[in-house]
């Protein structure tokens, strides 16, 4: 397995609209699309662009949301996960399995349209870790990602 770039930092929030306002007005960040729902992941999502990465704002969608427990413990929200790219998701999954790391659920399609899986924070130095396959074309010539079009 070869570790690729940090793709995004997941940040849980009780209000994605208030979080977008904070990142735009306080942090002077670029938010180029409207929040959107990913019901299959139980979250509402909005990406904040930074020069070398992204912040992935996450609001719970439904009572079974995987971030509901985190927000119960951290009502104001906060840093939720780190996401790293890899060139080959199956090779990465096999490696973490061989190492005995707990993989949380199946490999599924993430917000960037490529396969992702999650590793349990208790096996990863306290960090909920998302592994995603590198998109073939991360952005088109306009700089917009597939989910923003």
Ligand X SMILES: CC[C@@H](C(=O)O)C(=O)SCCNC(=O)CCNC(=O)[C@H](O)C(C)(C)COP(=O)(O)OP(=O)(O)OC[C@H]1O[C@@H](n2cnc3c(N)ncnc32)[C@H](O)[C@@H]1OP(=O)(O)O
- Would you call 130 a catalytic residue per the annotation? yes
DSSP string, the chain: -----EEEEEEE-S-HHHHHHIIIIIT--B--S--EEEGGGTEEEEEEE-SS-EEEEEEE-STT-TTHHHHHHSTT-EEEEEEEEES-HHHHHHHHHHTTPPEEEEEEE-TTSSEEEEE-GGGTTT--EEEEEPPSSSS-TTS--GGG-
Residue 38 touches ligand X, criterion: CB under 6 A = yes
Site stretch for Co ion (CB under 5 A), options 14-22, 25-33, 61-69, 124-132: 124-132
Looking at the Cβ atoms of 22 and 84, the one nearer to ligand X is: 84
Q: Which positions from 110 to 129 touch ligand X by CB under 6 A, shown as an x/- string? A: xx----x-x--xx---x-x-
Residue 133 touches Co ion, criterion: CB under 5 A = no
- Give the footprint of ligand X on this chain (CB under 6 A): 10, 38, 41, 43, 45, 56, 58, 66-67, 69-70, 80-81, 83, 104, 110-111, 116, 118, 121-122, 126, 128, 130
- Give the footprint of Co ion on this chain (CB under 5 A): 10, 56, 83, 130
The catalytic residue positions are: 130
């Amino acid at each position: 397995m070869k570790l690729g770039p940090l793709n995004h930092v997941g940040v849980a929030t009780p209000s994605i609209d208030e979080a977008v306002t904070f990142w735009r007005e306080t942090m002077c960040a670029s938010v180029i699309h409207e929040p959107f729902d990913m019901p299959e992941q139980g979250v509402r999502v909005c990406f904040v662009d930074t020069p070398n990465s992204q912040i992935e704002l996450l609001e719970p969608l439904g009572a079974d949301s995987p971030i509901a427990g985190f927000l119960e413990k951290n009502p104001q929200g906060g840093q939720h996960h780190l996401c790293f790219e890899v060139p080959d998701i199956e090779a990465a999954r096999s490696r973490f399995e061989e190492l005995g790391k707990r993989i949380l659920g199946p490999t599924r399609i993430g917000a960037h349209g490529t396969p992702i899986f999650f590793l349990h924070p208790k096996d990863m130095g306290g960090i909920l870790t998302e592994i995603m396959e590198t998109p073939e074309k991360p952005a088109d010539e306009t700089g917009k990602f597939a989910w923003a079009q």
